[in-house]
């Protein structure tokens, strides 16, 4: 069964502690924490102090998605502030292997992310070193965008690569996941689902969790 990570970007920041309790009660597998720097993506979200608050508010695994330039400079800070898993965009650094290594040396799980315009071939050399691959199914920067179905071709390619090379990484999808698109993502081979605006607009998080996890 796939794991579900609701994206806190769509949560009620004024009542984050209540949101975190509700997510734990709902049985989600972890929370997805989106960090945007206004450089790598045209939006600014939250950073270390908010991560620290989330860490104090939950025991759920925290999956930090870094949409920032120079991620290698900051990964240890995010680990120190409570990240259990960190993913970095291959487009954001010429030193992806070294950044992945830094994350693992810091004791967190390491993921590599590809934008809709980036081919799988770009990350092939790193696949043996990562714990998960995040395939963006929207262009990063904003919640509430329309799912780009074509990106699922990359999920299929990765699932096949995983099988033929006997590798063990998870495949995460992020962007536009809702009750309709989730089926396609799962069929393509996704093992981790991020969901923001759809999930947090549901009146019953437990029901939404069961629905999306299938
Ligand atoms: C987009 C973020 C996503 C976003 C997903 O840049 O990486 O995690 O919160 O939100 P939805 O599910 O609304 O597309
Ligand atoms: Zn994200």
Per-residue pLDDT tens digits for 170-211: 999 999 999 999 999 999 999 999 999 999 999 999 999 999
- Confirm if 37 and 69 have CB atoms less than 8 A apart: yes
**CA–CA separation, 22 and 134 (whole Å):** 25
Measured from the CB, is residue 174 less than 6 Å from ligand 1? yes
**CA–CA separation, 119 and 41 (whole Å):** 19
**CA–CA separation, 125 and 137 (whole Å):** 22
Q: Which residues are catalytic?
A: 34, 174
For residue 214, pLDDT over 90 is answered with: no
Number of H helices, E strands in the chain: 8, 8
Q: Which CATH architecture has domain 3-213?
A: Alpha-Beta Barrel (3.20)
Nearest CA to ligand 1 atom 4: 143
The Å distance, Cα 125 to ligand 2 centre, comes to 23
Identify the pLDDT of residue 213. 94
Identify the pLDDT of residue 172. 99
The Å distance, Cα 125 to ligand 1 centre, comes to 27
All residues at 6 or more sequence positions from 15 whose CB lies less than 8 Å from its CB, including other chains: none
Measured from the CB, is residue 113 less than 6 Å from ligand 1? no
Atom of ligand 1 minimally distant from the CA of 32: 8
Average pLDDT over residues 95-116: 98
Identify the pLDDT of residue 67. 99
All residues at 6 or more sequence positions from 193 whose CB lies less than 8 Å from its CB, including other chains: 2, 3, 4, 5, 172, 173, 177, 182, 185, 186, 212, 213
For residue 62, pLDDT over 90 is answered with: yes
Q: Is the dihedral of CA 194, 212, 62, 205 positive or negative?
A: positive
> Comparing C-alpha atoms, which of 86, 168, 173 is closest to residue 127?
168
Measured from the CB, is residue 145 less than 6 Å from ligand 1? yes
Q: Is the dihedral of CA 189, 195, 199, 204 positive or negative?
A: positive
pTM > 0.95: yes or no: yes
The Å distance, Cα 163 to ligand 2 centre, comes to 26
């Amino acid at each position: 069964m796939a794991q579900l990570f609701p994206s806190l970007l769509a949560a009620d920041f004024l009542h984050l502690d209540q949101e975190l309790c509700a997510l734990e009660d709902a049985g989600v597998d972890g929370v997805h924490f989106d960090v945007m720097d206004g450089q790598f993506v045209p939006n600014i979200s939250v950073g270390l102090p908010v991560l620290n608050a989330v860490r104090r508010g939950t025991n759920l695994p925290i999956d930090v998605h870094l949409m920032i330039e120079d991620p290698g400079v900051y990964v240890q800070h995010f680990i120190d502030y409570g990240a259990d898993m960190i993913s970095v965009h291959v487009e954001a650094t010429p030193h992806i292997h070294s950044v992945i290594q830094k994350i693992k040396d810091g004791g967190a799980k390491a993921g590599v992310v590809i934008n809709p315009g980036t081919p799988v071939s770009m990350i092939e050399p790193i696949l043996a070193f990562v714990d998960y691959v995040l395939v963006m199914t929207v262009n990063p920067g904003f919640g509430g965008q329309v799912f780009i179905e074509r990106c699922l071709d990359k999920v299929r390619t990765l699932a096949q690569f995983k099988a033929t090379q006997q590798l063990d990484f998870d495949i995460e999808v992020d962007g536009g996941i809702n009750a309709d698109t989730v089926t396609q993502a799962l069929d393509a081979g996704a093992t981790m689902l991020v969901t923001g605006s759809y999930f947090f607009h549901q009146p019953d998080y437990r029901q939404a969790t069961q629905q999306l996890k299938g």
